Amino acid sequence: MPHEKQDRDTEEIEDESKNIILGIVSQLRPNMDLSKVTLPTFVLEPKSMLERITNFMSHPEFLLTVPQVPSAEERFLDVCRFYLSGWHIRPPGVKKPLNPVLGETFTGFWKFPPAGPSSPGLENLNGTAVYISEQVSHHPPISAYFYYCPQYKIRVDGVLKPRSRFLGNSAASIMEGVATMKFLERNEEYILTQPNMYARGILFGKMRIELGDHVTVRCPNTDLAADIEFKVKGFISGTYNSIAGKVKRISTGEVLYKLSGKWDSEIILENASTGKSSTFLDVTELPVYPITSRPLEEQAPYESQKLWYETCEGVKARDQSLATKSKTAIEDSQREKAKAREANGEKWQPRFFKQTGPEEYLLNMDIPYNAPDAEVLSRLDSFIPIFSQRDRSHFRNLVGGGAEPQPSMQGPDPRKQVNNTGLNGTRPPNSRERPNPASSSFVTYRSDNGSVDEYHDAQMPDQKTLSQLEEN
């Protein structure tokens, strides 16, 4: 969908809600850690942080073709463009995603080309990309994630370690952690950091979200680096959502390009040697391509959408009682399990990621890069479920079988069956009841208004891969 042209970052808080916030704030002190403070559910986004991370993969047209670009400078600029393209995707107002619980997982995939609004960049893509994430630590909170597209040999490994601080009239989320993007066929590695987030106007004025501080994009293989500042508005001067940055040679410090503009609209690139400027990125009309996840009834209890289903339904319905009750029950269960581990002298071990450093994690699986694309996807899906049951059976047969996913990741939803839902359990508008996604394979169902079912039109693997496998 096109990016909405409106102020999405401010929010008027109702008097009752404002009183709740002020009651919490009265107990805080400047620079106090907010990780142990229970926030009211009306400030929550109905989505786990593990799922929200996928916002940054929602513009694949800027990423997947980068390895084919001959120029190292152009490849680096394309990576910067992709990096900057995801920040405009956010909920309206001041909302915070749900904190994942220890052991929570979220998986999904993108099928190219997508079914949604046509785009010259998207319609020329072909393949499937997968995403796997797990909450690997609770103190400190650390989310580990993995992204891989076999057809384009692009891999991303990342960790996110948010720290919250109370700053008086603001609250800050310090977004520590790095993402490492690898173009395997180019033998290039890009290292990216993230801006911090600030919620302004907690005590007075309108509540507003801002991104701030410096981020870096570095590629030692090409001797290039970008220093980009997300600028916060000054008390008197300045403007919201501005950025400024420079692209330099690491070895000499020579400035090659300058960036300026707004991360939620248009960004300008200036060639430092010629002074020529051009539009580098304009997100105002970009189609957003969200991740596709498995049907809710196929998800295990600790998968994000199923774990937080009742909480998210309460948040979306503005039912604070339901949201709070559900969220509290999940958090209380976590505390009891933590006490039991401590009493038994047990140390938590992530299930799908391995620790490679003090706060570094990688997927605990060797990726068979030289294997056929469908086989790689099948092995990943055997490691942790990513695709629906029927689709899994179909493409596994094509690659000669494969081990079934671990049983604990399967099972019916004990609370509510949700048929044919898209991201976040929402049904496409104006659509009639359609067949259950779990009972159909590689089928596209269309409603009377001609819209395409989000789940089934995004199935994998692509037809070209299937045909090659069948011929072999």
Copy the structure tokens of residue 63.
């990423």
Q: What is the DSSP letter of 292?
A: B
Residue 209 banded pLDDT, cuts 50, 70, 90: confident
Residue with the bigger pLDDT between 107 and 89: it is: 107
Q: What is the pLDDT of residue 25?
A: 55
Q: Say whether pLDDT at 460 is over 80.
A: no
Closest Cα partner for 46 from 425, 386, 300?
425
Q: What is the pLDDT of residue 311?
A: 94
Residue 447 banded pLDDT, cuts 50, 70, 90: very low
pLDDT mean over 2-29 = 50
Closest Cα partner for 70 from 152, 226, 186, 150?
186
Residue 209: strand, helix, or coil = strand
pLDDT mean over 440-463 = 32
Strands (E), 310-425: 353-357, 360-363
CA angle 56, 60, 62 (to 5 degrees): 95
pLDDT mean over 341-356 = 95
Q: Say whether pLDDT at 60 is over 70.
A: yes
pLDDT mean over 115-128 = 76
Closest Cα partner for 295 from 16, 129, 107, 460?
107
Q: What is the pLDDT of residue 198?
A: 86
Q: Say whether pLDDT at 364 is over 70.
A: yes
In Å, the largest CA–CA distance within the chain is: 69
Give the CA count within 13 Å in the CB-facing half-sphere of 226.
30
Residue 395 banded pLDDT, cuts 50, 70, 90: low
How many other C-beta atoms are found inside a 10 Å radius of the C-beta of residue 379? 18
Residue 293 banded pLDDT, cuts 50, 70, 90: very high
Q: Say whether pLDDT at 175 is over 70.
A: yes
Q: What is the pLDDT of residue 423?
A: 27
Domains of the chain by residue range = 10-281+292-346
Q: What is the pLDDT of residue 94?
A: 77
pLDDT mean over 84-101 = 88
Which class does domain 10-281+292-346 fall in?
mainly beta
How many other C-beta atoms are found inside a 10 Å radius of the C-beta of residue 332? 10
pLDDT mean over 129-144 = 95
Q: What is the DSSP letter of 9?
A: S
Q: What is the pLDDT of residue 41?
A: 63
The answer to whether the bond into 461 is cis (omega within 30° of 0) is: yes
Tokens 């597209």 map to which residue? 149
**Which residue type does 50 have?**
L
Q: What are phi and psi of 25, to 5 degrees?
A: -60, -35
- The DSSP-derived string for 35-52 is TTS---GGGEEEEEHHHH
Q: Say whether pLDDT at 443 is over 50.
A: no
